[in-house]
Amino acid sequence: MRCLSCEKLSFSIICKKCQSTLLVPNFFKKELEKDFFVYSFYSYEEIEPYILSKYYFHGDRVFNILAKLAFAKFASNFSYPSLVYALPIDDHTRHDFSHTAILARHLNSPCIKPLYNTLKASNIVKYAGKDLEFRQKNPRKFLYKGSSNIDVILIDDLITTGATILEAKKLLKKHNVNVLFALTLCAFRS
């Protein structure tokens, strides 16, 4: 096959050279509300074609590579005094795989355990290209069916306005779930 980036022959969908030169994560921090932060590894503009791969059959391979480069590395350096759960936001499988579940899986470590199928959106309206006003008028209406009195890290592929993450955090608080912070693969910078 050919590398998605340089188009040279490769055993991987993104060759090792492109992974080590083009996909080096940079850690970004954004405060969504007082003392609540979301951390991202890339800017959306840097990895747009890779993020959009979630709509195609090869997207799972792309997300596994990105998650290995960013989320797995994060997990290997993360420590916390008690077990923390990685909670993917709406880990549905509408495109034959769940990109948020893939990201959460790569956080699996002695300190972090993925927690699947517990935070689901009951409203599946598409947010792509929509502004904050649209997002606020059309909330995801999350349902939570997990444990209470746990610490979690919210996981999503990208952050635009932060509305989805804050909506999920608000619901989880009602269930006595402590959201430490959110991790996203990328964030819009422009």
The CATH number for 74's domain is: 3.40.50
117 located within any domain: yes
14 located within any domain: no
Cα distance between residue 188 and residue 156, in whole Å: 13
Domain that holds residue 68: 28-187
What single letter denotes the amino acid at residue 103?
L
Place 130 in a pLDDT band, splitting at 50, 70 and 90: low
Report the domain count for the chain: 1
Cα distance between residue 121 and residue 177, in whole Å: 17
pLDDT of residue 141: 85
pLDDT in tens, 139-153: 778 899 999 999 999
131 located within any domain: yes
5 located within any domain: no
1 located within any domain: no
Query: Does residue 55 register a pLDDT over 90?
Result: no
List strand residue ranges (DSSP E) for the chain, in order.
28-33, 36-43, 84-88, 112-114, 119-121, 142-144, 150-159, 177-187
10 located within any domain: no
For the entire predicted model, the pTM comes to 0.90
20 located within any domain: no
